[in-house]
Amino acid sequence: MGGHGHGEPYKVPHPSIYKVENIPKLREVQEALARQGLKDPWLRNEVWRYEPSKMGTHASRARAFFLRGLLWGSIAAAVHIGCEYAFSSKDDHGHGHGDGEHSEGAHH
């Protein structure tokens, strides 16, 4: 459906590749639950979040989150400042500098 002969747009990984035993933090959670006689049947669903090969490290994800638009944002800011500088009139400094509005006699 909708593939237009290009094949699958993605490959769904087999669930057996996600093993709690391969992730130390999740293994600790599993062992702590077992000490209390509990088991989390959905813990395997969190394995992908802890695999650096799939999701990267916590630091790399944080870096990507905070720096994702920095380059384009900096370019846009530089263009904006350049346009403001290029298209602003040189003799207009705004109000309040001798235009009578804030002269000596105009104060309340």
Mean pLDDT of 9-31: 88
Rounded Cα distance, 76 and 95, in Å: 28
**Is the pTM of the predicted complex or chain greater than 0.75?**
no
Rounded Cα distance, 67 and 93, in Å: 36
Q: How crowded is residue 25: how many other Cβ atoms within 10 Å of its Cβ?
A: 11
Q: What is the pLDDT of residues 64-105, one digit of tens each?
A: 888 999 999 999 999 999 999 998 877 655 565 555 555 565
Token code pair at residue 105 = 């006699």
pLDDT at res. 40:
92
* Cα distance from N-terminal residue to C-terminal residue, the chain: 75
